[in-house]
Amino acid sequence: FNNELQRSEKMEIISELAASVAHEVRNPLQVTRGFLQLLTGKAQTAERQYLELALVELDRASGIITDFLTFAKPEVGKDTVLSVSEEFKHIEGILGPLAHLQGGKITVDIPENIMIRGNSSKFKQAFINIVKNSIEALGEEGKVHIRCYRQQNQVFIHVVDNGEGMGPEVLARLGEPYFSNKTKGTGLGLMVTFRIIEAMDGDIYFTSKQGVGTDAVITLPAAGE
Ligand code: ADP
Ligand code: MG
């Protein structure tokens, strides 16, 4: 019991540290990005190439912070009862504009009374990584639809997109650290998501078809009667 307690205290300290590092590092990265971009506009071809490389690497650093650290901070009341619909209101608020930027749309269909147990920040981080992947996979007339229902003591959450989809060789590697098919990808998003869902005693699986889209299904134990 003592060991367990020490471990969870340590984890809490690490999480808190990670969140503050993420927060502190993000600002100087953004400032640096701004200046590099300014220079890129004025540079000759040779220098411009280096500057563009520097921008790509800087974006990679930001990507790692987003996928890995942004929501790491634990909130008071570690195992709180969360309303799935409330959590997704926040997620939609963060990612709706990103979908819009791609010419896509997010729709959410979640009954108000579905509850689960967990940490709000971690939950959001897990689902932001999933929904962000859906958005990034979208082509024209892109749609991401999120729906949720309860069956007995299980809560089912579906994140469905009509994006590029995945073949079996990609599906088999999801969650593997640094596995990414994107030029600016970190390959850390789903690894983090899988860990969080597992820690919440949940399950996650993907069905997907190339050129058709993807359905990510997450099951979590329901809270409440
Ligand atoms: P990253 O997004 O940085 O590449 P992830 O771990 O989030 O890393 O995702 C790994 C890979 O899984 C992506 O590069 C992509 O090829 C694939 N992937 C994940 N979700 C989807 C999706 N909804 N549609 C198509 N491909 C996806
Ligand atoms: Mg991702």
- In tens, the pLDDT along 181-197 reads 998 899 999 999 998 99
Question: What was the pLDDT predicted at 146?
Answer: 98
Task: Quote the CA–CA distance of 94 and 128 in Å, as a whole number.
Answer: 8
pLDDT of 12 over the 80 cut: no
State the ligand closest to the CA atom of 195.
1
pTM (two decimals): 0.86
Can you tell me which residue has the tokens 């990808």?
Answer: 185
Average pLDDT over residues 82-101: 96
Q: Is 167 left (phi over 0), alpha (psi -120 to 50) or beta?
A: beta
214 CA distance to ligand 1 middle (Å)? 11
Residue 133 Cα, ligand 1 centroid: separation in angstroms? 5
pLDDT above 70 covers a percentage of the chain that reads 93
> Considering just the CA atoms, what is the radius of gyration of the chain in Å?
19
Of 159, 153, 151, 152, give the one whose Cα is nearest residue 128: 159
Is 13 exposed, middle or buried (CB count within 10 Å of its CB: 0-12, 13-18, 19+)?
Answer: exposed
What does residue 50 show for φ and ψ, rounded to 5 degrees? -65, -40
Per residue in 181-194, is it b (16+ CB within 10 Å) or e — as a string? eeeebbbbbbbbbb
The residue nearest atom 4 of ligand 1, judged by CA position, is 180
The neighbour count for residue 177, using CB atoms within 10 Å, is: 11
- Above 60 in pLDDT, residue 74? no
**Position 79 pLDDT exceeds 90:** no
23-73, pLDDT tens digit by residue? 889 899 999 999 999 999 999 988 999 999 999 999 989 888 888 777 766
- When pLDDT is averaged across residues 93-111 and rounded to a whole number, the result is 95
Q: Which are the contacts of 149, defined by CB distance < 8 A and separation ≥ 6?
A: 111, 114, 155, 156
Mutate to test the pocket of ligand 1, among 180, 184, 192, 215 (most ligand atoms within 8 A of CB): 180
**Beta pairing, strands 154-161 & 143-151:** antiparallel
Quickly state the pLDDT bin for 21 (edges 50, 70, 90).
confident
For residue 105, which amino acid is it? Answer: K
Beta bridge partners of 147: 109, 158
Q: Please give the pLDDT value at position 9.
A: 75
| pLDDT value of residue 78 | 54
